[in-house]
Amino acid sequence: MNWLDIVLVVTFIVYAYAGWVHGFVSNVFSGGGLLLGFLLGIALAPKFFAQGEGDPLKAVMSIVFVFVIAGIGNFLGTLIGRSLRIGRGPGRAIDAVFGAAFGTVVVMAASWALGYAVSASTLPYVSSAVRDSTVLARVDTLMPERAGAALRSFTDTLTGDVFPRYLDPFETEIIPQTDPPDQDTLALKSVRDARGSVVRVLGEAECRRTIEGSGFVIAPERVMTNAHVIAGVSRPTVTLGDRRLDARPVWFDAELDLAVVDVPGLDGDPLRFDTGAQQGDPAAVLGFPENGPFDARAARVRGRLDLRGPDIYGQGRVSRDVFSIRSLVRSGNSGGPLISADGDVIGVIFAASVSDAETGYAVTAAETVPVATAALRANRTVSTGGCA
């Protein structure tokens, strides 16, 4: 148990006791007011606090806003409930027991909802405590599988909607230790040559949002990127050098977060895949972070992990074979290649840690190669679903 677990247990006890004292009938209004206020705060926060590209201040303000609205709901509900409280009598004991149970359930549900959203936030100390919480992990097993999807807008407000959730909300993030990246890797001719095969991917999603990301050539007129980069986009564009070309999606995997687009007229050299990368190997992250100019960052493989989390829409549970890497990964790096010292693709960047600024994640080449092989035979335009 960590400090958050202690706080939660104490909170549960306090609300259980309050429910016992005030009874079920009274607690339906006070607890119901708390829960309704909490849900209202979660629904309104995205409207008052626009997605802040991971701005910690906006994340804190959003959380405070939710607590204030929940507090108001609790206060109003308590005022109504007091007049309906059952006094002494044969029904008092039953009323007290059900009141304690109801109060505990309400605060558990509210704690889980807030924890689910905060676990992916840009508040490292808090998000780490949430993911390491034994209590919230137990409560999570009792919640409906699709419950997290209802919190998506609020979660995006806390995270800035930079990357999709890459890890189950209440699972500890493992960050293997490794040496700092070797900056000399960027000077290698093989790495510099790979630049000519890295593209910028842009598009207007159906939710009226401009998407941005990176990609790389895997075959003549074929580019691989992340599924979340083109999610909800029917007509993405690919820019290589000074040429901007129309593209169409021919492969879309929301679980592995991989996609392939057909780009008529694209003449970049295909990059090769290398499935032999190991912990400690030098590498480079190539792409167009934050929709800016081309950027190359030295990296080093921290380790290979079986990363379990939801798909790009925050639903279900997916297991991905990934590399944890030591490097700076930013919004816009999504879909770009993780290049070995030999200039080969050892992974596809898809996420950055919310608790460590020097940690990112890439789907391994071993996981990617089967997708690339199948996508080369695909010619039919496919749906890219809704916005991720």
* CA 212 vs CA 205, 255, 367, 388: distances in Å: 10, 20, 23, 12
Starting at the edge strand found earlier in the chain, the sheet holding 258-262 runs 243-246, 237-240, 198-204, 210-219, 222-225, 258-262, 248-253
Phi (first) and psi of residue 276, to 5 degrees: -100, 10
Residue pair 163/227 in contact by the 8 Å Cβ criterion? no
Residue pair 203/235 in contact by the 8 Å Cβ criterion? yes
The helix (run of H) or strand (run of E) holding residue 259 is strand 258-262
Number of Cβ within 10 Å of residue 58's Cβ equals: 20
Q: Is 228 a catalytic residue?
A: yes
The active-site residue out of 140, 214, 228, 340 is 228
Residue pair 310/165 in contact by the 8 Å Cβ criterion? yes
Sign of the Cα pseudo-torsion (293, 294, 296, 297, in order): positive
| Gap between the terminal Cα atoms of the chain | 33
The DSSP output letter for 186 is G
Find all residues with CB under 8 Å of 372, minimum gap 6, and list them: 218, 219, 224, 260, 273
Alpha carbon distance 287, 213 (integer Å): 8
The DSSP output letter for 156 is H
Number of Cβ within 10 Å of residue 21's Cβ equals: 14
The active-site residue out of 168, 257, 295, 344 is 257
Task: Compute the half-sphere exposure of residue 156: CA atoms within 13 Å on the CB side of its CA.
Answer: 19
The active-site residue out of 111, 334, 340, 355 is 334
Residue pair 347/302 in contact by the 8 Å Cβ criterion? no
Q: Is 111 a catalytic residue?
A: no
Q: Is 257 a catalytic residue?
A: yes
Active site members:
228, 257, 334
